[in-house]
């Protein structure tokens, strides 16, 4: 369980979002939404303990994040983001294996049977088994994104935090990844991720957190968050809501 109590997050002491009060339950899939620059990535890093909050506290299962050691955090929360720096010479399997570091003492690294099994499961989950020995730099942008997700899966943490996991992916692969994340939540893992597509978020997430206007505008089930007035307040654009058999969807209102 992740609890945010009166949290304010920002950059260089400038608050981006204030007064966030939220409780993310175990085995829940939460999608974080909001316009560019609102603080979504900063919030993800704060939830992982990688960035301090300006105010308030973030707790994991009742323990403040700041009280946990870096290794304890790494065993509890995996953070997935796209960062291709300094891995030009690594193969796909080697990149995914980085996710296993939290399971070894800092002075000792040698892959064991548990590591091998976790890496193979992660490769299979994102359908990259055939690419395991390819150089990371030879992959497409969509394939690279799947490698990053596999690295987070190999870390085998109860919480998986992802920053835009479907960016650079075509529609089919994006939906495969979102279906995978939903399945992981149903199997017991807590998923928190930034998404840009409101309808994808509504289709797959249990709850949506909408940021905008320097605050959390809503944290509720998709049917309540995808209210046209809330979306217009957050994004500054009018939308039309359509009810479908799969739930509500919103579309930008076309003006003549």
Query: Nearest-5° angle of CA 166, CA 171, CA 174?
Result: 30
Rounded Cα distance, 73 and 67, in Å: 10
**Given a cut of 60, is residue 256 above it in pLDDT?**
no
**Given a cut of 80, is residue 26 above it in pLDDT?**
yes
pLDDT of the residue at 107: 60
State the pTM of this model.
Answer: 0.89
What tens digit of pLDDT does each residue of 202-255 get?
A: 999 999 999 999 999 999 999 999 999 999 999 999 999 999 998 999 998 776
**Given a cut of 80, is residue 84 above it in pLDDT?**
no
- Dump the DSSP string for 48-78: TTSS--SEEEEEETTEEGGGS-HHHHHHHEE
pLDDT of the residue at 255: 66
The closest alpha carbon to 129, from 138, 141, 119, belongs to 119
Rounded Cα distance, 179 and 57, in Å: 31
pLDDT of the residue at 86: 54
- Token look-up 């994004």 returns 235
Residues 216 and 206 sit within 8 Å (Cβ to Cβ): no
What tens digit of pLDDT does each residue of 147-163 get?
A: 998 999 999 999 999 99
pLDDT of the residue at 11: 87
Instruction: State which H helix or E strand residue 154 sits in.
Output: helix 141-154
**How many CB atoms are closer than 10 A to CB 231?**
23
pLDDT of the residue at 146: 87
pLDDT of the residue at 47: 96
Domains of the chain (ranges; CATH) run 2-82+157-252 (3.40.50.300)
**Given a cut of 60, is residue 112 above it in pLDDT?**
yes
**Given a cut of 80, is residue 99 above it in pLDDT?**
yes
pLDDT of the residue at 83: 65
**Given a cut of 80, is residue 59 above it in pLDDT?**
yes
Long-range contacts of 178-185 (CB under 8 A, 24+ apart): 178/203, 178/204, 179/204, 180/125, 180/126, 180/149, 181/29, 182/29, 184/153, 184/160, 185/27, 185/28, 185/29
DSSP state, residue 132: T
pLDDT of the residue at 85: 57
pLDDT of the residue at 140: 86
């Amino acid at each position: 369980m992740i609890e945010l109590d009166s949290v304010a997050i920002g950059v260089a002491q400038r608050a981006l979002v204030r007064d966030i009060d939220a409780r993310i339950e175990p085995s829940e899939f939460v999608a974080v939404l909001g316009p560019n620059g609102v603080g979504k990535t900063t919030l993800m890093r704060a939830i992982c303990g990688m960035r301090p909050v300006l105010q308030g506290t973030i707790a994991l299962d009742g323990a403040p994040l700041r009280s946990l050691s870096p290794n304890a955090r790494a065993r509890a929360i995996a953070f997935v983001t796209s960062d291709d720096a300094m891995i030009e010479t690594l193969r796909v399997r080697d990149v995914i294996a980085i996710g296993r570091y939290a399971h070894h003492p800092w002075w000792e690294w040698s892959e064991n049977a548990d590591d091998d099994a976790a890496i193979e499961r992660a490769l299979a989950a994102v359908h990259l088994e055939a690419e395991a020995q390819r150089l990371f730099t030879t992959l497409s942008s969509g394939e690279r994104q799947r490698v990053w997700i596999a690295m987070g899966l190999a870390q085998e943490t109860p919480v998986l935090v992802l920053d835009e996991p479907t960016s650079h992916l075509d529609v089919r692969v994006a939906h495969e990844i979102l279906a995978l994340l939903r399945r992981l939540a149903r199997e017991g893992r807590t998923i928190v991720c930034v998404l840009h597509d409101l309808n994808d978020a509504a289709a797959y997430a249990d709850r949506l957190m909408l940021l905008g206007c320097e605050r959390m505008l809503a944290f509720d089930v998709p049917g309540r968050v995808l209210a046209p007035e809330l979306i217009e307040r957050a994004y500054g654009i009018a939308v039309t809501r359509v009810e479908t058999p799969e739930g509500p969807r919103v579309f930008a209102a076309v003006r003549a």
